[in-house]
């Protein structure tokens, strides 16, 4: 259920993980990295080459610039010719039917909330119609035929090729790292030698960064391959591939950097790339706004990251990971204000990047980008950065129990809040988007409770099954659009009310998404069962005082029992809701009758191998990924299924935990020194059976309630999106976007306009004085005529005025 080495070690029981590291160190095993800089350089090289190709392709696509004053051009209507050529595409774009969600309310009324704030529905237009219709998306059956230009062929080899090469080097390093007991910084060059601040551009390839590197390059490679089939018809295909490579490059800097400033470089880089990719189809304002929203919301979190770094340097004197973890226990007070403030500011940064309450609002809108972007951001890269930051700073968070409690509570509430919204979404990608926010909440609940390995474990399994689900939704959209396109049906290809019965036509997609759904629902033996079970188990053990957070809270005089009970109950309920809404998504999409026409049904089919191969690989990983961390000491207590799971464990007992242990060993030392009387965990079988019941129960309830309704559901143009008040609130995402719009966006806009008006007033006054001086100068200048008679006349008039004045006196 949960490995709590800190508590066990406090009671004199040597932890297996600690013994593992000590054994390796005693054998003098050291890690010798193999070409570590190439892991970074290859994606950067891909970006540079694809970027140049994109620039060349864009320049070739530009119309010729009319020569200035060329009478032939002006008289023979070149501009008119280009306008005529562009007209069909523009007309086609406008001909694309608006989404149901854009014009209909559940009660067949306009839904201003969707119209104003729900950017995700615009993804319909992109993925399903708008861009596909004029070549922005990839569809084999109605794409452009004929040989493609080399600018579209070369990126198909370069972009995934550099990622696969980087993944291969990462695997070599992983094999070399096994059994190593020490890990050192890989020196690069001096970067910020300023007084006491000495930060180098160095890499840290330790077990944690290795896990993240394998996930980023491995899952990222599959997403790149999927993108070949999904985006190849888009005119901006080279640019898209260049952005993907750049995204991976910055994410690798984030996880491989050996210091907080270098991590911040990657932190900002992935923020920039998310802006570029979410707003990839920037010609539509909604997509550009979604990209800006992600960028701005993340800046709020970045403020916290910067403040935390400043506090850390002032109080600890270094920003290098290894030095911070060594000095922090002696420089900071356990449970003190400084440690708490540093941890809370770091968490503010993590909440922004990983979409936690109240900064989660940008992530669902990220659906405005192409589906591979959603898979990349939601599964393997950006949103996991916050979890990585907390685990990397585990010593600091362990020293700040109050801050860790905030992390656990916010993560728990985020998990429940987002799960409830997922219950009533009809857009298949929006269901998955809120699922991502919810699962990130699970991860933060885990790391907040001190179960750092459980958090990383769920991060890993989530990357497998969430990438599979997002790419599967892309395959569904691909097929639905092809069917609708054949009949010129303007219906929304992402709305599940327009689907149904797809399992016969998309068997590979159905099978792989089904496996991923079982994984996220927590059904054994799929990956999500093991990782989610560890997180929920951490809460239940904490209720008995037997997890690191509970021990830390007790040490500073707080009663952990009610908090841990509340967290355990909410996470258990959330796991049940997750199973239900994922089952609902599968039933509406793949079961029952197809709600299109017979002609549309005849055009439903799987995509080519670039679309199906990544799904198969990810489904396989979703199946066996959880067996990497089977804790035999826990399953020994479980009758019937315990021996079966123990036999399936890949690599032995709790392999992932042993692998991660050297990174979190510092936090365990802090806990042993400051909470020596922590309760010993008592493993039991009932939480495991409860976890199994939750997953199966949620899916069974979905089948019982949704399958009957599935046959009665009509297409999105006539079926209301919701029926009652609660359903309306869920469909409209609890009106959080509207709340932010009224309390933040509009007041800021008002103040901005007020400031703009004030500036204009000041500028007007300054300009007015300038104009008055200019006018006075011009008027006076007119007296300088250059004629002698004029000057003589003025002189005489002046003399007469002076004499007259004297005479008057």
Q: How many CA atoms lie within 13 A of 590 on its CB side?
A: 23
DSSP lists the bridge partners of residue 190 as 200
215, 383 Cβ separation under 8 angstroms: no
Helices 609-624 and 207-231: angle between axes, nearest 10 degrees: 150
119, 289 Cβ separation under 8 angstroms: yes
Quickly tell me which residue has 């939704």 as its tokens: 473
Residues 6+ apart with CB under 8 A from 639: 685
Helix (H, G, I), strand (E, B) or coil at 111: coil
Quickly tell me which residue has 């774009």 as its tokens: 93
Taking alpha carbons only, the member of 463, 39, 55, 388 closest to residue 248 is: 39
Question: 643 vs 455, 538, 633, 649, 780, CA distance in Å?
Answer: 25, 22, 11, 10, 104
Quickly tell me which residue has 């040490």 as its tokens: 555
Taking alpha carbons only, the member of 144, 139, 140 closest to residue 128 is: 139
Neighbours of 148 (CB within 10 A): 14
592, 501 Cβ separation under 8 angstroms: yes
DSSP lists the bridge partners of residue 192 as 199
391, 456 Cβ separation under 8 angstroms: yes
632, 644 Cβ separation under 8 angstroms: no
The dihedrals phi and psi of 427, each to the nearest 5 degrees, come to: -75, 125
**Sign of the torsion angle spanned by Cα atoms 162, 513, 130, 370:** negative
Taking alpha carbons only, the member of 137, 290, 167, 146 closest to residue 228 is: 137
Q: How many Å apart are CA 433 and CA 440, to the nearest integer? A: 11
pLDDT at 189: 87
Q: How far apart are the first and last CA of the chain?
A: 111
Task: Give the largest Cα separation in the chain, rounded.
Answer: 128
Taking alpha carbons only, the member of 346, 535, 530 closest to residue 446 is: 535
* Residue 459 tokens, joined: 């991060």
Q: How many helices (H) and strands (E) does the chain have?
A: 37, 4
DSSP lists the bridge partners of residue 607 as none
Cα angle, residue 637 at apex, residues 631 and 638 outer, rounded to 5°: 90
- DSSP symbol at 488: T
Q: How many Å apart are CA 11 and CA 680, to the nearest integer? A: 7
Q: How many Å apart are CA 209 and CA 456, to the nearest integer? A: 11
> Long-range contact list for 55-64, CB < 8 A, 24+ apart?
56/151, 57/149, 57/151, 57/152, 57/238, 57/239, 58/239, 60/151, 61/235
Helix (H, G, I), strand (E, B) or coil at 775: helix
Taking alpha carbons only, the member of 63, 243, 57 closest to residue 150 is: 57
Residues 6+ apart with CB under 8 A from 379: 219, 223, 436, 462, 463, 464, 466, 467, 470
Helix (H, G, I), strand (E, B) or coil at 185: strand
Question: 275 vs 323, 362, 712, CA distance in Å?
Answer: 33, 11, 40
542, 564 Cβ separation under 8 angstroms: yes
Taking alpha carbons only, the member of 223, 214, 229 closest to residue 174 is: 214
Over the chain (809 residues), the average pLDDT of each successive run of 10 is 46 44 55 89 96 91 64 49 40 40 38 40 44 40 63 93 96 88 79 86 93 96 95 90 96 95 94 92 87 88 94 94 93 94 96 91 88 88 92 95 96 96 94 95 96 95 95 94 90 92 95 96 93 91 87 90 94 96 96 92 92 96 93 80 84 88 91 82 82 93 92 87 88 92 90 90 91 88 79 86 83
Q: How many Å apart are CA 780 and CA 799, to the nearest integer? A: 20
Helix, strand, coil % over all residues of the chain, rounded to 5: 75, 0, 25
Taking alpha carbons only, the member of 310, 320, 395, 316 closest to residue 345 is: 310
Quickly tell me which residue has 């990209």 as its tokens: 291
* 194 sits in which H/E element: strand 190-194
- Sequence length of the chain is 809
Q: How many Å apart are CA 470 and CA 474, to the nearest integer? A: 6
DSSP lists the bridge partners of residue 259 as 320
Q: How many Å apart are CA 775 and CA 755, to the nearest integer? A: 30
Neighbours of 144 (CB within 10 A): 10
What b/e sequence results for 698-719 when a residue is b if at least 16 CB atoms lie within 10 Å of its CB, and e otherwise? bbebbbeebeeebeebebbbeb
Q: How many Å apart are CA 386 and CA 441, to the nearest integer? A: 11
DSSP string, 645-687: HHHH-SSSTTHHHHHHHHHHHHHHHHHHHH-TTPPPP---SHH
pLDDT at 174: 92
Q: Which runs of consecutive H residues, i.e. helices, occur in 232-317?
A: 237-256, 260-278, 285-316
Q: How many CA atoms lie within 13 A of 151 on its CB side?
A: 19
The dihedrals phi and psi of 319, each to the nearest 5 degrees, come to: -125, 5
Residues 6+ apart with CB under 8 A from 117: 737, 738, 741
Beta strands in 362-428 (DSSP E): none
């Amino acid at each position: 259920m949960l490995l709590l080495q800190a508590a066990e070690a406090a009671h004199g029981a040597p932890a297996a993980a600690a013994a593992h590291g000590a054994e390796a160190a005693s054998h003098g095993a050291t890690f010798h990295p193999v070409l570590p800089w190439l892991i970074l350089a290859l994606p950067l090289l891909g970006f540079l080459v694809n970027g140049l190709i994109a620039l060349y392709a864009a320049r070739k696509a530009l119309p010729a610039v009319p020569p200035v004053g060329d009478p032939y051009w002006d008289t023979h209507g070149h501009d008119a010719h280009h306008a005529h050529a562009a007209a069909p595409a523009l007309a086609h774009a406008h001909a694309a039917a608006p989404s149901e969600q854009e014009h209909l309310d559940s009660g067949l009324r306009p839904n201003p909330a969707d119209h104003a704030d729900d950017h995700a529905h615009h993804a319909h237009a992109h993925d399903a119609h708008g861009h596909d219709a004029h070549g922005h998306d990839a569809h084999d059956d109605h794409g452009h035929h004929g040989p493609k230009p080399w600018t579209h062929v070369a990126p198909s080899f370069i972009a995934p090729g550099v990622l696969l090469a980087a993944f291969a080097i990462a695997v070599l390093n992983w094999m070399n790292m096994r059994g190593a007991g020490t890990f050192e910084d890989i020196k690069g060059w001096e970067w910020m030698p300023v007084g006491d601040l000495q930060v180098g551009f160095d890499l840290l390839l330790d077990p944690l960064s290795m896990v993240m590197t394998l996930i980023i390059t491995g899952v990222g490679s599959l997403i790149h391959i999927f993108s070949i089939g999904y985006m190849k018809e888009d005119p901006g295909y080279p640019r898209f591939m260049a952005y993907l490579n750049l995204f991976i490059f910055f994410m690798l800097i984030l996880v491989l950097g050996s210091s907080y400033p270098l991590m911040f470089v990657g932190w900002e880089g992935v923020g920039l790339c998310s802006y570029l990719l979410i707003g990839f189809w920037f010609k539509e304002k909604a997509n550009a706004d979604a990209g800006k929203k992600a960028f701005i919301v993340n800046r709020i979190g970045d403020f916290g990251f910067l403040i935390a770094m400043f506090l850390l340097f002032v109080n600890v004197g270094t920003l290098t990971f290894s030095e911070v973890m060594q000095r922090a226990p002696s420089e900071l007070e356990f449970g003190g204000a400084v440690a708490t403030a540093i941890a809370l500011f770091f968490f503010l940064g993590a909440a922004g990047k990983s979409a936690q309450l109240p900064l989660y609002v940008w992530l669902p809108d990220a659906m405005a980008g192409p589906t591979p972007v959603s898979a990349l951001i939601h599964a393997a890269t950006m949103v996991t950065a916050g979890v990585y930051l907390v685990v990397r700073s585990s010593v600091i968070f362990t020293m700040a129990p109050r801050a860790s409690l905030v992390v656990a509570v916010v993560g728990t509430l985020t998990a429940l809040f987002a799960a409830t919204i997922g219950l009533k979404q009809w857009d298949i990608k929006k269901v998955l988007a809120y699922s991502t926010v919810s699962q990130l909440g699970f991860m933060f609940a885990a790391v907040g409770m001190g179960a750092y390995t459980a958090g990383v474990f769920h991060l890993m399994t989530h990357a497998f099954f969430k990438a599979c689900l997002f790419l599967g939704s892309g395959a569904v959209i691909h097929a639905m659009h092809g069917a609708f396109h054949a009949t010129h049906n303007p219906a929304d290809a992402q709305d599940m009310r327009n689907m149904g019965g797809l399992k016969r036509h998309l068997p590979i997609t159905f099978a792989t998404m089904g496996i991923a759904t079982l994984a996220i629902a927590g059904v054994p033996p799929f990956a999500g069962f093991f990782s989610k079970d560890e997180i929920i188990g951490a809460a239940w053990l904490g209720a008995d005082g037997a997890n690191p957070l509970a021990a830390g809270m007790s040490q500073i005089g707080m009663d952990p029992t009610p908090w841990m009970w509340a967290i355990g109950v909410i996470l258990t309920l959330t796991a049940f809701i997750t199973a239900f809404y994922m089952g609902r998504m599968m039933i509406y999409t793949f079961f029952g009758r197809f709600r299109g026409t017979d002609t549309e049904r005849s055009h439903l089919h799987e995509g080519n191998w670039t679309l199906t191969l990544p799904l198969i690989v990810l489904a396989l990983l979703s199946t066996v990924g959880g067996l990497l961390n089977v804790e035999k000491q826990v399953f020994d207590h479980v009758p019937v299924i315990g021996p079966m799971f123990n036999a399936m464990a890949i690599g032995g007992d709790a392999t992932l935990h042993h692998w991660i242990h050297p990174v979190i060993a510092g936090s365990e030392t802090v806990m042993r020194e400051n909470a020596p009387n922590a309760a010993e965990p008592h493993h039991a079988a009932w939480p495991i059976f409860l976890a199994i019941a939750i997953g199966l129960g949620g899916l069974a309830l979905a089948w019982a309630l949704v399958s009957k309704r599935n046959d009665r559901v009509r297409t999105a143009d006539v079926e209301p999106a919701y029926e009652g008040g609660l359903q309306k609130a869920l469909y409209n995402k609890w009106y959080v976007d509207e709340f932010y719009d009224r309390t933040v966006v509009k007041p800021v806009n008002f103040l901005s306009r007020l400031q703009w008006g004030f500036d204009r007033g000041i500028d007007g006054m300054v300009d007015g004085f300038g104009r008055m001086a200019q006018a006075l100068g011009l008027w006076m200048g007119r007296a300088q005529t250059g004629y002698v008679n004029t000057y003589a006349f003025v002189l005489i008039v002046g003399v007469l005025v002076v004499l007259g004045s004297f005479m008057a006196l």
